[in-house]
Amino acid sequence: MDSDDLPGPGPYIEFGRDSWSRLSESTPLPLTDADVERLRGLGDPLDLNEVDIVYRPLSRLLSLYVSATGTLHQASSTFLHERWDGTPFVIGIAGSVAVGKSTVARILREMLARWPETPKVDLITTDGFLLPNSELEARGIMDRKGFPESYDRRALINFLARVKSGDESVPAPVYSHVTYDIVPGAQTLVRRPDVLIVEGLNVLQPARTDQALPSSLAVSDFFDFSIYIDADEANIRRWYVERFLSLRSTAFARPDSYFQRYAGLSDNEAVAQAVAIWDSINAPNLQENIAPTKSRATLVLTKGESHAVQQIRLRKL
Ligand SMILES: Nc1ncnc2c1ncn2[C@@H]1O[C@H](COP(=O)(O)OP(=O)(O)O)[C@@H](O)[C@H]1O
Ligand SMILES: CC(C)(COP(=O)(O)O)[C@@H](O)C(=O)NCCC(=O)O
């Protein structure tokens, strides 16, 4: 059920850009134009003004949540007669393919790391927990990449449990968009960060009961805060197609690219190919699996047609 279907005023408080921006007027803006240029994704026109209006207040809100959650952990530790070990604060970022999750994740990582309480911020993407192509092929689901069943959810949940319990060094597997597969033997190590950002299509999926997972945990059970990035599907589809056109001369042209055959496509052919992938994989996944998780997020950022955030909804219930 979407939050809009709930009786009463609903669990979210809504802001436009200006009212949101006014909530943290005294918070400093720690980034420069050059930082933003370095951090934004392909095709995303994010600029310093947008960071100032939308992401500066958000980083302030997150820093307040981090402090309050730390106090709560400290209270539990006092009760349990344990030494407080600095449990990492975990933020989930969800939304469609091509909605711009990775840009938001990188901006927040950089901004949170400038707060004195959280100098160490790690970021992982859930694509590292996709099953390798060989396994997707063996299961006959190569055309379902990004759907919930294409991930090793048990490995992702074990990874998060280890990070949250304060393990010294926790490995995450690595995915390559260029080879379109898991990179054999590669890993990212997460070493007791103050904050961990977990970005991916399905991070707000509820627990599944059709797999023998310990006590049916959901990935989001490990989150202290979650963000859903929303936009009209027609806009996301256009961003996907535009990015696909740009990738012809960059990632697709690399000799190790899985998509090398797309590098030489004409504009019309490339649009047709991108639309075919969107319509057969990414749109059904958005409609069936990703969009229904929106109402589980702590905060929903709704983007307009040029990626600028138009509405911010914060859960208050
Ligand atoms: N085929 C591709 N080749 C190279 N990079 C890609 C490809 N598809 C997506 N990317 C890059 O991977 C990142 C994640 O993309 P995606 O999963 O669509 O999420 P989002 O756009 O929400 O960040 C983006 O930085 C994007 O530019
Ligand atoms: C790798 C992805 C599943 C995203 O994974 P995520 O990090 O969000 O878990 C997605 O970018 C993707 O490649 N989807 C398959 C269809 C396509 O090529 O667009």
Q: Which domains does the chain have, with CATH numbers?
A: 12-315 (3.40.50.300)
Alpha-carbon torsion (286, 312, 11, 224), positive or negative? positive
Ligand 2 pocket check for 102: Cβ under 6 Å: no
33 to 29, 54, 58: CA distances (angstroms): 11, 15, 18
Q: Which residue ranges are tagged as binding site?
A: 95-102
Beta bridge mates, 15: 312
The residues with which 181 forms a beta bridge, in sequence order, are 176
For the chain, residues with pLDDT lower than 70 are: 1-9, 84, 209-215
Q: 169-186 pLDDT, tens per residue?
A: 999 999 999 999 999 999
Q: What percent of the chain has pLDDT over 70?
A: 94
Integer Cα distance of 163 and 90 in angstroms: 9
Q: What is the pLDDT of residues 91-102, one digit of tens each?
A: 999 999 999 999
Residues placed in the known binding site for ATP: 95-102
Q: Which amino acid is at 4?
A: D
Enumerate the β-bridge partners of residue 13.
314
Mutate to test the pocket of ligand 1, among 46, 97, 102, 249 (most ligand atoms within 8 A of CB): 102
For ligand 1, atom 9: residue with the closest CA:
177
Among 99, 103, 126, 145, which residue has the most ligand 2 atoms within 8 Å of its CB, making it the best to mutate?
A: 145
**Encoded tokens for 235:** 């806009």
Quick: pLDDT tens for 50-66. 999 999 999 999 999 99
Q: Is the CB of 41 under 6 A from ligand 1?
A: yes
Q: Which of the 8 DSSP states describes residue 131? A: P
Please tell me if the CB atom of residue 102 comes closer than 6 angstroms to any atom of ligand 1. Answer: yes
Q: Which residue's CA is the closest to the ligand 2 atom numbered 7?
A: 127
Query: Residue ranges of the alpha helices (H) in the chain?
Result: 17-21, 33-39, 48-50, 56-79, 101-113, 133-138, 153-164, 233-247, 260-263, 267-277, 283-285
How far is the C-alpha of 313 from the C-alpha of 308, rounded, in Å?
15
Which residue out of 39, 42, 46 has the highest number of ligand 1 atoms within 8 Å of its CB and is therefore the one to mutate?
42
